Structure 1
Amino acid sequence: MLDPLPILSKVFGFPAFRGVQADVVERVLAGERTLAVMPTGAGKSLCYQLPSVMLEGTCVVVSPLIALMHDQLRAATAVGIRAATLTSVDENRAETIARLKAGDLDLLYVAPERASGTHFRDLLMQTKLSLFAIDEAHCVSEWGHDFRPDYRLLGPLMEAFPEVPRLALTATADAHTRADIAKQLGIPTDGMIVSGFDRPNIRYSISARDTIARQIADLIAANPGPGIVYAQTRAATEKLAEQLARTGRPTRAYHAGLDPAIRARNQADFVASEDMVICATVAFGMGIDKPDVRFVAHAGLPKSIEAYYQETGRAGRDGDPSVAHLFWGAEDFARARQRIGEVEPERQAGERTRLAALGALVETGGCRRRILLKHFGENPTEDCGNCDNCLGSSDAVDATETARKFLSAVFRTGQLFGAGYIEQVLLGQSTERSLTNGHEALSVWGIATADEAALVKPVVRALLLRDALRTNAHGGLEFGPGAKPLLKGEAALSVIVPPKRERRRRGTPVAANAADNPLFEALRACRRDLAKEAGVPPYVIFHDSTLRDMAAQRPNSRAALSLLSGIGARKLDAYGDAFLQVIRDAG
């Protein structure tokens, strides 16, 4: 078998493989069928791009979205790989088909809808194939969080070419989903390579939603660089984009209801930008292969831990420090429970399990990363040191007694009133309403201590999250199934008390990716000009990490420049002299 390391260095500019890349590539080159589960940013695309250069024939890559295919096409072409896409929006389809038949393509990207058709199968019969690569392979499984029926039809396509190796790739699949993927795509159980789910460069933070535009504005001020804000409705994306634009950062909205031309332009602007914030529904992101996203914010609860992991995984794909911050409210859980009641009865148990897993992630006073990794079947033993709880930015306190007092007040007042009124009763705040209702004579009147006053709102959120309290049609609070264990002393309740908010001076970054090196900034300016000239996003030229290496090592020749990670032969020829000139000019 050929040695892949010279190709890895010459074409991609990397001195060595990362993680399990070597194991995956070795199996592919040996003609084995493989399922690779690798976290976002671990270099999944290299696992089929490198073999596509080494093997005779064309590697067919099945990818779920046109935008993602075009991003991957740009990246492959930039390092000299002969690649093309065959999609409904490509005007050069005839040329691509001719190149495929002539054996002039290393990579061909197609959508599952096209790949599963008989016409495409007949086309492949006319050329030599080296590999089938199924990207985002969790879409093949009904157990996955993003099931796509057309992925189910890929099995018959590949069975028509039994001698062609298969590689399925995903970043998001628990044990059940992995087994289903392998079954559907004809991959043996001993062909699974699972590298783990940890993204150590992402700092996870979760906090209660208060004034969301202000909270996210603070996050933006602390994190220079591109960012994604996920909102739950189309209207919310537009409102947030308008509010966040006042921070001075370029901001766009993205959702399915926008005019297609505006939506495409907003996406293109974001992909090309080095500091834009895009406010989007969750439909945005899977089709974006942008490595330099510095933060992802959720303005509301995601659908599941799997969805949360995938959406936050769009931050820091280049390996640089990044932030994922979730802002949640108790009403998010109430709405989620209502939606569960509307789905088919056979699905409700599974949906409740997913919601409970999200609740555990939100409510924990321990390591957030540990909760995430345990969900995917891993067993981390230590605190991560890179989430809000491990960093000590919030404290967990035992609020069981306060919770019991609040539940008692809900019961004594007839389970008719909202949280604000119950809080007034507990704190003994007299109003005309409490006098009229006669509630000032109740045993629960004023029983909350001064120290407990700050706990009431977090306790209400926690009780709603645990389904100990529910909101009725009139906005009043009533008991849920989680109330009884707390009142009987069979369960305890702890809540997270966030630190007092400190206003940060606008423009003062705290993210670890901040840079004030004049040479680094000059190299970024050079990259920006080259990217504009070539019509590609700046990261396609070089990642920030490569520019930092240039600024630190100051190579003075092409030979020295070629030793830096991420600079292959094609990019060295195309861009090397321009960057060397910037280094020389800097003295």
Structure 2
Amino acid sequence: MQATLENLKHYFGYDSFRLTQQEAIQNLLNKKDALVIMPTGGGKSLCFQLPALQFSGLTLVISPLIALMKDQVDGLKANGISAEFFNSSQNFETQQEILEKISRKEIKLLYTAPESLSGLQDVLKSNYISCVAVDEAHCISSWGHDFRPSYKQLGFLKKSMPDVPIIALTATADKATRVDILNQLSIPKAKVFISSFNRENIFLNVKMANKRLQQIEKFLDRRPDEAGIVYCLSRKSTEKLAQDLEALGYQAEAYHAGLDHETRSEIQENFIYDKTQIVCATVAFGMGIDKSNVRWVIHYNMPKNIESYYQEIGRAGRDGLASQALMFHSYADVIQYRNFIDNSGNQEVQYAKLDRMKQFAEAKSCRRKILLAYFGEYLEEDCGHCDICLNPPQFMDGKINAQKTISAVARVQQNEPIGVIIDILRGAKNQKILDRNYDQLKTYGAGKDVAWRDWQHYVLEMINQGVLDIAFHDGNKLKLNSLSKKVLFEDYQVSLTKPIDPKVEKREMITKSRKKKTLFESLRQLRMQISKEEDLPPYLIFNDASLKEMETQKPKDLSEFMTISGVTQRKAERFAEEFLNIINQHTKTRKKSKGSTYLKTFRLYEQGLSLDEICKNRGLKDTTIISHLAKLYADGKNVNLLKFVTKKEIDQVSNVLNDIKYEGALKPIHEALDGEIQYGKIRLALAYLKV
């Protein structure tokens, strides 16, 4: 375990384990099977990535979405770990190269999809494979919320390699799903590790689906620079909402299965690289995405079950920083899901799960308690971090309002839906009311002093309490029942909650963005610059939590920088100097401005010193001095770049620029030149070419 701890810091930048990671890792190092249930963002991947470094052979990782494998592999490579993916997106030659690397034991982790296992048959042997990890393991179970038939074949792995340990991992699995996962994978006696499902950093908020776009605009207005995902029920909704948000000035794109593979990949990449702020998506988007700085998730429609809701909100705040989960719900969502269920299998289970989701949406007590109880975890105290805890409902005597509503339903012969009943109570003069002579009813206008939105709130509560029924299969008409008659003719008490006035509703704890540029913002800008140059997603350089810690701790040198969570040896060697420079500029030594540091480099250059001599004199790396020289040249200083890069090298870079689309990243140029010209010289060539 000591070696594992050293690898944890060296390759991943962490000093200690979280949740049940250590126990699960030790179990796997002992070559025993396991099922790991750990919340999204809890660090499931480390449970097999760390042991993989200590196994002599390959760790095979089965993952459901090939579109995400490249990002996962890029993340491992950025940390100095040998990893590859093997799937249908590659040509035959690439796949053969990977198979040869496996035979030479040059790869520690290989990501693949269940459909691609046939291409790996020659290496699916215990002399090559040391471990098998089945990610998103709930996909193997028909009881799970995201069942995929392609996962059904995975049971053969244990039968063909009985001595190779299998670790299955998922964020969401109830008891029935857990048992099914183990049986399907032929590991019924595997040890099960269950971590707390409580994601305390995520604020839970549920609202009625009234004027959703206006509510979303208000929500985003308080988070102008934060990335997030809006989940919609239909493809059409994703496209319409993305257009509406674009019209409001936000960078938003729609993502759904109707788009071609290339377009979906581009949208996903733009989001991961922080080029797109918002993705409006159907539920497929996000599974397995490690982007740690998703600050919020909005459900435009209520999810079909609590497992889906939990997994989707878990895509926010993976770095542990404060994040938001906002869900809209309406009876229209319930009706649509009931239609889906009526035309599918396993109806009894699906109806039960939909009812639990509905209960969560309509809750009048701490939402986190309800959410965690679903997974068998119980909170003793209210969480204090959900909309119910922040704005506890106030109850009122609702008998009169209930009697008015029931009377209106009776007078229209139980033949109208909620909206028409409310219009009658409010005394509306629309065409439907007048055409049907509802303005002549005794209850017409009986509730005109109550707002339409408030009436909707009361009627839905009456339905939830069983005072009224809603006929989903008969145009969603309101119907009377035995309880309705008790309210109308007997002394049956009805207690309703007062609607919350949005004008006085307490806001979630949000720190509004300040106009003053913070150290965090400066570090973010540097990260984005490096991201473009290295062609790496920003979060793979350092996540927001690491930047926040840098802002708080303000490390002064390399040794202090290494104590920041998420800083690995490799990342420190590559990036520490630039980040420390920014941090130092924001501390008491601020007088050492950026301009003066460039000037010091320029004075040494004027003295005729070589690049190595300038680096030694300044105590800075060559990459930093090269960036100084490029900036000095761009600013018009008399710097002869040909002392550091040849004309031939500049011409080679120039020729490449004619063949590729240059968007600020140096990596594509470096690769197009077959790695023959160093990154520093490419940067100087671009400065010379004034690109």
1:247 maps to: 248
CA 1:474–1:183: 2 relative to 1, 3 Å:
closer
CA 1:585–1:445: 2 relative to 1, 3 Å:
closer
Task: Give the Cα–Cα distance (whole angstroms) in 2 for the partners of residues 144 and 432 of structure 1.
Answer: 47
CA 1:337–1:411: 2 relative to 1, 3 Å:
farther
Task: Give the Cα–Cα distance (whole angstroms) in 2 for the partners of residues 99 and 292 of structure 1.
Answer: 34
Task: Give the Cα–Cα distance (whole angstroms) in 2 for the partners of residues 398 and 61 of structure 1.
Answer: 58
Write the mapping of 1:372-451 to structure 2, written as runs, cut at 5 A: 372-392=371-391, 395=394, 397=396, 399=398, 401-427=400-426, 444-448=443-447, 450=449
CA contact (8 A) 2:252 2:277 kept: yes
Number of residue pairs aligned between Structure 1 and Structure 2: 578
2:200 maps to: 200
- Greater CA drift, 263-272 or 138-147: 263-272
CA 1:432–1:288: 2 relative to 1, 3 Å:
closer
Asked whether 1:477 is paired with 2:477, we answer yes
Asked whether 1:572 is paired with 2:572, we answer yes
Asked whether 1:166 is paired with 2:166, we answer yes
Q: Once the two structures are superposed, what CA deviation does each residue of 1:183-224 show, in whole Å capped at 9, x if it has no partner?
A: 222334560010121111111111111122211111111223
Write the mapping of 1:20-169 to structure 2, written as runs, cut at 5 A: 20-91=20-91, 92-115=94-117, 117=118, 119-125=119-125, 127-169=127-169
1:310 maps to: 311
Asked whether 1:488 is paired with 2:480, we answer no
For residue 390 of structure 2, give the secondary structure of its aligned residue in structure 1. coil
- Greater CA drift, 105-114 or 262-271: 262-271
| Letter paired with 1:49 | Q
Tell me how far 1:435 sits from its aligned partner: 7.7
Task: Give the Cα–Cα distance (whole angstroms) in 2 for the partners of residues 231 and 435 of structure 1.
Answer: 36
2:502 maps to: 500
Q: TM-score scaled to structure 2, two decimals?
A: 0.78
For residue 343 of structure 1, give the secondary structure of its aligned residue in structure 2. coil
CA 1:539–1:530: 2 relative to 1, 3 Å:
same
Task: Give the Cα–Cα distance (whole angstroms) in 1 for the partners of residues 149 and 512 of structure 2.
Answer: 40
| Letter paired with 1:50 | L
Task: Give the Cα–Cα distance (whole angstroms) in 2 for the partners of residues 340 and 190 of structure 1.
Answer: 33
CA 1:397–1:184: 2 relative to 1, 3 Å:
farther
Tell me how far 1:275 sits from its aligned partner: 6.3
Task: Give the Cα–Cα distance (whole angstroms) in 2 for the partners of residues 454 and 214 of structure 1.
Answer: 15
- Greater CA drift, 575-584 or 374-383: 575-584
Tell me how far 1:79 sits from its aligned partner: 1.1
Q: Identity over aligned residues, as a percent?
A: 37
Q: Once the two structures are superposed, what CA deviation does each residue of 1:328-379 show, in whole Å capped at 9, x if it has no partner?
A: 22211122223333334xx322222112111111111111111111111122
CA 1:123–1:502: 2 relative to 1, 3 Å:
same
For residue 88 of structure 1, give the secondary structure of its aligned residue in structure 2. coil
1:340 maps to: 341
Task: Give the Cα–Cα distance (whole angstroms) in 2 for the partners of residues 93 and 451 of structure 1.
Answer: 68
For residue 409 of structure 2, give the secondary structure of its aligned residue in structure 1. helix
| Letter paired with 2:357 | L
Task: Give the Cα–Cα distance (whole angstroms) in 1 for the partners of residues 561 and 282 of structure 2.
Answer: 41
Write the mapping of 1:476-555 to structure 2, written as runs, cut at 5 A: 477-479=477-479, 483-488=481-486, 494-495=496-497, 497-501=499-503, 511-512=510-511, 518-555=518-555
Q: TM-score scaled to structure 1, two decimals?
A: 0.91
- Greater CA drift, 227-236 or 402-411: 402-411
Task: Give the Cα–Cα distance (whole angstroms) in 2 for the partners of residues 398 and 577 of structure 1.
Answer: 66
CA RMSD in angstroms comes to: 2.9
CA contact (8 A) 1:415 1:476 kept: no
CA 1:438–1:75: 2 relative to 1, 3 Å:
closer
| Letter paired with 1:457 | Q
Q: Once the two structures are superposed, what CA deviation does each residue of 1:37-89 show, in whole Å capped at 9, x if it has no partner?
A: 00011111111111111221111111111122222111111111110000111
CA contact (8 A) 1:334 1:464 kept: no
CA 1:266–1:376: 2 relative to 1, 3 Å:
same
Task: Give the Cα–Cα distance (whole angstroms) in 2 for the partners of residues 89 and 325 of structure 1.
Answer: 35
Asked whether 1:264 is paired with 2:262, we answer no
Tell me how far 1:450 sits from its aligned partner: 3.6
1:279 maps to: 280
Which is higher, the Rg of structure 1 or of structure 2?
A: 2
For residue 59 of structure 1, give the secondary structure of its aligned residue in structure 2. strand
Task: Give the Cα–Cα distance (whole angstroms) in 2 for the partners of residues 431 and 244 of structure 1.
Answer: 31
| Letter paired with 2:12 | F
Show structure 1 runs of 5+ residues with no match. none
CA contact (8 A) 1:428 1:445 kept: yes
| Letter paired with 1:484 | S
Tell me how far 1:444 sits from its aligned partner: 3.9
Task: Give the Cα–Cα distance (whole angstroms) in 2 for the partners of residues 525 and 38 of structure 1.
Answer: 33
1:288 maps to: 289
Task: Give the Cα–Cα distance (whole angstroms) in 1 for the partners of residues 408 and 350 of structure 2.
Answer: 31
Tell me how far 1:10 sits from its aligned partner: 1.8
Q: Once the two structures are superposed, what CA deviation does each residue of 1:415-452 show, in whole Å capped at 9, x if it has no partner?
A: 22343442243345678976886656755455448468
| Letter paired with 2:486 | K
2:620 maps to: none
